[in-house]
Amino acid sequence: MTTEPFGARLRRAMDDRGPLCVGIDPHASLLADWGLSDDIAGLERFTHTVVEALADRVAVLKPQSAFFERFGSRGVAVLERAVADARAAGALVLMDAKRGDIGSTMAAYAATYLDPASPLFSDAVTVSPYLGYGSLRPALDLARESGAGVFVLALTSNPEGAEVQHAVRADGRSVAATMLDHLRAENAGATPMGSYGAVVGATLGDSLTAAGAELAINGPLLAPGIGAQGATAADLPKVFGAAVRDVVPNVSRGVLRHGPDMAALRESADRFAGEIRDAVAG
């Protein structure tokens, strides 16, 4: 059982290694770019290379579960090993599963990723709140019990997200702002940082203002969009303002395109981490 809260472990990892999160996204086109076959052998080679190259230097590795699930049980077995190997090397593992349901089904999802007895136990998991924030309670409670974390989709970088996330409730608050309010309440009083984070796209810019979003939630902000999606490290202070120190920028293709050369992967990750550290420090 992990007893130290995820927020404290994440804060230490970000301070020691820099705040970079690198995705592990073995989609078919990237496997092809690496000269690998789109099968279990290619998946294993890709995943092992990324973990071996980066798990001892980046704060967070974020496997995208779908790219493993598409290979069935053998793909999930590769994912299980990646989680274990990455954590053993010192990286925190954020499982990008975006699960969301109600009742016993949500409890089962929570047990899959947040129960230390599970072979897929991760330091944190992404979840979708669009069956209502209260539907996430099994994951929120199990995360607190096990010292894990939860990242809730709040303001995502895909353009379709705005139709739900920017929608205004009867009380005048946007859906996204409501989710951030809930997370702020979950993190109240936590030091040095809460364990309940939000996903907020680094590419959103002025649309954050349009959503009426207050990003300071005393918890981490996972920020996809650095690199291939167009955002840069220099954009982070402008987008996140006073909350920038709690941002965990995610880079996937920007780093992974340098594989399968492990030295090139490491060099790319180190470069992004340095740029992000400098931007956050001002």
DSSP per-residue string spanning the chain: ---S-HHHHHHHHHHHH-S-EEEE---HHHHHHTT--SSHHHHHHHHHHHHHHHTTT-SEEEEBHHHHHTTTHHHHHHHHHHHHHHHHTT-EEEEEEEE---HHHHHHHHHHHH-TTSTT--SEEEE--TT-GGGGHHHHHHHHHHT-EEEEEEE-SSGGGHHHHTPBPTTS-BHHHHHHHHHHHHTTT-SS--SEEEEE-TT-TTHHHHTT-----SS-EEEE-BSTTSB-GGGHHHHHGGGGGGEEEEESHHHHTTTT-HHHHHHHHHHHHHHHHHHHH-
Both tokens of 282, joined, read: 């001002």
The answer to whether 238 is a known catalytic residue is: no
Catalytic member of 12, 27, 57, 98:
98
Query: Residue 43 and residue 71: Cα distance in Å, rounded?
Result: 9
Q: Which residue numbers are catalytic?
A: 98
